[in-house]
Amino acid sequence: MDLNVKNEEKGTLVSVTGRMDAVSSPEFEKELGRLIGEGNVNFVIDLNGLDYISSSGLRSVLVTAKKLKGVKGQILLASLQAVVKEVFAISGFSTIIPIYESIEEAMTAL
Protein backbone atom coordinates (compact mmCIF):
# COMPACT_ATOMS: atom_id res chain seq x y z
CA MET A 1 0.00 0.00 0.00
CA ASP A 2 1.17 3.51 -0.82
CA LEU A 3 -0.07 6.74 0.72
CA ASN A 4 0.22 10.15 -0.90
CA VAL A 5 -0.67 13.15 1.27
CA LYS A 6 -1.55 16.53 -0.18
CA ASN A 7 -2.79 19.57 1.73
CA GLU A 8 -5.71 21.24 -0.01
CA GLU A 9 -7.54 24.47 0.83
CA LYS A 10 -10.42 22.74 2.66
CA GLY A 11 -8.60 19.73 4.07
CA THR A 12 -6.04 16.99 3.62
CA LEU A 13 -6.25 14.65 0.63
CA VAL A 14 -4.82 11.19 1.24
CA SER A 15 -4.59 8.93 -1.81
CA VAL A 16 -4.34 5.23 -1.03
CA THR A 17 -3.14 2.73 -3.64
CA GLY A 18 -2.64 -1.02 -3.51
CA ARG A 19 -4.05 -3.24 -0.76
CA MET A 20 -5.11 -2.30 2.77
CA ASP A 21 -4.83 -5.47 4.82
CA ALA A 22 -3.45 -6.71 8.15
CA VAL A 23 0.10 -5.94 7.02
CA SER A 24 -0.46 -2.45 5.60
CA SER A 25 -3.40 -1.02 7.56
CA PRO A 26 -1.27 -0.13 10.64
CA GLU A 27 0.73 2.17 8.33
CA PHE A 28 -2.50 3.96 7.31
CA GLU A 29 -3.57 4.33 10.94
CA LYS A 30 -0.13 5.57 12.03
CA GLU A 31 0.18 8.12 9.20
CA LEU A 32 -3.30 9.55 9.73
CA GLY A 33 -2.68 9.61 13.49
CA ARG A 34 0.47 11.64 12.83
CA LEU A 35 -1.43 14.05 10.58
CA ILE A 36 -4.18 14.46 13.19
CA GLY A 37 -1.48 15.13 15.80
CA GLU A 38 -0.18 17.93 13.57
CA GLY A 39 -3.59 19.58 13.62
CA ASN A 40 -5.16 18.23 10.41
CA VAL A 41 -8.79 17.37 11.11
CA ASN A 42 -10.59 17.28 7.75
CA PHE A 43 -9.67 14.43 5.43
CA VAL A 44 -10.73 13.19 2.03
CA ILE A 45 -9.43 9.68 1.44
CA ASP A 46 -9.08 8.94 -2.27
CA LEU A 47 -9.54 5.19 -2.69
CA ASN A 48 -9.51 5.11 -6.49
CA GLY A 49 -6.22 3.17 -6.43
CA LEU A 50 -7.23 0.79 -3.63
CA ASP A 51 -7.70 -2.71 -5.05
CA TYR A 52 -8.55 -4.55 -1.83
CA ILE A 53 -9.52 -3.80 1.77
CA SER A 54 -9.71 -6.40 4.55
CA SER A 55 -11.42 -6.22 7.92
CA SER A 56 -8.15 -4.87 9.33
CA GLY A 57 -8.28 -2.05 6.81
CA LEU A 58 -11.89 -1.29 7.73
CA ARG A 59 -10.88 -1.23 11.39
CA SER A 60 -8.11 1.29 10.66
CA VAL A 61 -10.55 3.56 8.85
CA LEU A 62 -13.01 3.30 11.77
CA VAL A 63 -10.30 3.99 14.39
CA THR A 64 -9.26 7.08 12.41
CA ALA A 65 -12.88 8.26 12.12
CA LYS A 66 -13.29 7.93 15.90
CA LYS A 67 -10.10 9.91 16.53
CA LEU A 68 -11.38 12.65 14.23
CA LYS A 69 -14.77 12.74 15.93
CA GLY A 70 -12.95 13.45 19.21
CA VAL A 71 -11.31 16.54 17.69
CA LYS A 72 -14.43 17.64 15.77
CA GLY A 73 -12.93 16.55 12.46
CA GLN A 74 -14.21 14.36 9.67
CA ILE A 75 -13.16 11.71 7.21
CA LEU A 76 -14.81 11.41 3.82
CA LEU A 77 -14.13 8.66 1.29
CA ALA A 78 -13.99 9.28 -2.44
CA SER A 79 -13.66 7.43 -5.74
CA LEU A 80 -14.07 3.87 -4.46
CA GLN A 81 -13.64 1.03 -6.93
CA ALA A 82 -16.68 -1.26 -7.17
CA VAL A 83 -15.18 -4.13 -5.15
CA VAL A 84 -14.06 -1.81 -2.33
CA LYS A 85 -17.39 0.04 -2.35
CA GLU A 86 -19.15 -3.30 -1.97
CA VAL A 87 -17.06 -4.17 1.12
CA PHE A 88 -18.02 -0.84 2.71
CA ALA A 89 -21.69 -1.45 1.89
CA ILE A 90 -21.77 -5.06 3.16
CA SER A 91 -19.94 -4.13 6.38
CA GLY A 92 -22.34 -1.26 7.04
CA PHE A 93 -19.48 1.25 7.10
CA SER A 94 -21.07 3.19 4.25
CA THR A 95 -23.75 4.30 6.74
CA ILE A 96 -21.09 5.54 9.19
CA ILE A 97 -18.57 7.20 6.88
CA PRO A 98 -19.73 9.38 3.97
CA ILE A 99 -18.76 8.11 0.51
CA TYR A 100 -18.56 10.37 -2.54
CA GLU A 101 -18.19 9.54 -6.23
CA SER A 102 -15.34 11.99 -6.75
CA ILE A 103 -12.64 13.86 -4.85
CA GLU A 104 -14.22 17.14 -5.96
CA GLU A 105 -17.61 16.20 -4.45
CA ALA A 106 -15.96 15.18 -1.18
CA MET A 107 -13.87 18.36 -0.98
CA THR A 108 -16.99 20.44 -1.57
CA ALA A 109 -18.72 18.58 1.28
CA LEU A 110 -15.92 19.49 3.71
Dist CA 2 CA 74 (whole Å): 22
Dist CA 36 CA 15 (whole Å): 16
Dist CA 47 CA 51 (whole Å): 8
Q: What is the mean pLDDT of residues 14-31?
A: 97
Give buried/exposed letters for 80-109 (b at 16+ CB in 10 A, else e): beeebbebbeeeebbeebebbeebeebbee
Q: pLDDT value at position 45? A: 98
What is the pLDDT confidence band of residue 29, given thresholds at 50, 70 and 90?
very high
pTM (two decimals):
0.95
So what's the architecture of 2-104 in CATH? 2-Layer Sandwich (3.30)
